[in-house]
A = this chain, B = another copy of it.
Amino acid sequence: MTVVEQMLDDHPSIDDKTDVAALRECIEACFECAQACTACADACLAEDHVEMLRQCIRLNLDCADVCEATGRVLLRRTAESIDLRRAMLAACVVACRACGDECERHAAEHRHCATCAEACRRYQRACSVLLES
């Protein structure tokens, strides 16, 4: 059992409307994506041709910030606001699509970009599932 799973399980205000499995997958993919993006920005910065990776670094930094804020919002179950959750998931879809697309362009050359693109895709899918639930 992961910490996120336990914390969702232990919360005093259980609400039956939320698909907890979808929420858990989304939160875990969200923080994983934030970590991949922070690390990818830093790895890009150390590459020989950093001048080719400006856009990748910028998108990584944005995506990391947006994911971390969203992960915190999703972890909170007290007095939930569905509107804000939806707005942040929508922003994450935008951030992950842009960052995932850019990372894919460098995936053949840089393994960290391939790993990051995959984390963006996983989280983007999780956002879509949660948005539809």
Complex alpha-carbon distance, A110 and B6, angstroms? 12
CB of A57 closer than 8 Å to a CB of B: yes
Q: Give per-residue flags for A24-59: 1 if the beta carbon is below 8 A from chain B beta carbons, else 0.
A: 000100011001101111110111101100110111
For the complex, count residues of A whose C-beta is within 8 A of B. Answer: 62
Give the number of copies in the complex.
4
**A75 touches which of B3, B38, B69, B75 (Cβ 8 Å):** B38
Interface centre among A35, A94, A112 (most CB of B within 10 A): A35
Tell me how far the C-beta of A103 lies from the nearest C-beta in chain B, rounded to whole angstroms.
Answer: 12
What B residues does A87 contact at CB under 8 A? 87, 90-91, 94-95
Q: Give per-residue flags for A59-74: 1 if the beta carbon is below 8 A from chain B beta carbons, else 0.
A: 1011011101101110
